[in-house]
Amino acid sequence: MLGVALVLLVPLATRLSPFPDIDVDPAWSFARSWAYPVGLLGASLALAFLSRQAAVLDGLAPRTRWAGEVGSLLGGVGSLQACLVAGALVSSPGAVGELAPLLPDLLLSDLHLVAVGALVLRLATPVPVRLAVLWVLLWGLPVLTAGTSVSPLLDAGRFLRESESLSSGPRAGLSALAISTGLLLVGFLLTPPRTLSRPR
């Protein structure tokens, strides 16, 4: 319930509006505005699931474990966001052209969510603490640093706002892509080795 309440507060805290006054179909505008909060909720659910599967993950080779964790996080994020996109397609099939500019922004945002989630998995803390850290990094800090010089480094959802889409700043998109890729690499390097002992 706490996670749902936080999701409902995200658009207000980040000055997002479900229906901005712009020349975009309302259904697609709604999907774009809520894609990041919904993706964050999906990442939280995936993180909680993976945290409770530590005994299984410990028995996997590092590369397999990292790939499984990243895939699970991406699946958690994408599955919920797919509902938004499907709803927009059903509500406004004539505005399907809005999907093309949305996808690059959505994928870049999701990559950052997954990269940070994979890093948070490396924390040796209880599940609630991991979830709290995830929300602070992906929601709290972007809100607190809004308008500052460090905001572009922390706010992965900014590209999902129409005024800050990749089409208006491809250089910023490349910078964000490099940051997310670097975080994924760090998460891979920090993946612990297999700890289960082999039977004698």
Per residue in 51-86, pLDDT (tens digit) is: 999 888 888 899 999 999 999 999 999 999 998 888
Structurally, the chain folds into a number of domains equal to 1
Whether 135 maps to a domain, the answer reads yes
Domain that holds residue 144: 23-189
The predicted structure's pLDDT at residue 114: 94
Q: What are phi and psi of 68, to 5 degrees?
A: -65, -40
**What amino acid occupies position 121?**
L
The predicted structure's pLDDT at residue 131: 94
Helix pair angle (26-51, 62-91), 10° resolution? 150
Whether 53 maps to a domain, the answer reads yes
**Average of per-residue pLDDT across 121-140:** 91
Q: State how far Cα 69 lies from the chain centre.
A: 14
The predicted structure's pLDDT at residue 180: 87
The predicted structure's pLDDT at residue 149: 67
The predicted structure's pLDDT at residue 17: 41
The predicted structure's pLDDT at residue 126: 93
Local confidence band at 169 (pLDDT 50, 70, 90 cut-offs): low
Whether 98 maps to a domain, the answer reads yes
Whether 199 maps to a domain, the answer reads no
**Average of per-residue pLDDT across 154-179:** 68
First to last CA, the chain: 46
Whether 7 maps to a domain, the answer reads no
Whether 101 maps to a domain, the answer reads yes
Whether 13 maps to a domain, the answer reads no
**Average of per-residue pLDDT across 92-120:** 83
Helix pair angle (99-120, 170-189), 10° resolution? 30
Local confidence band at 162 (pLDDT 50, 70, 90 cut-offs): low
Those residues with Cβ within 8 angstroms of residue 140's Cβ, 6 or more apart along the chain or in another chain: none
Whether 169 maps to a domain, the answer reads yes
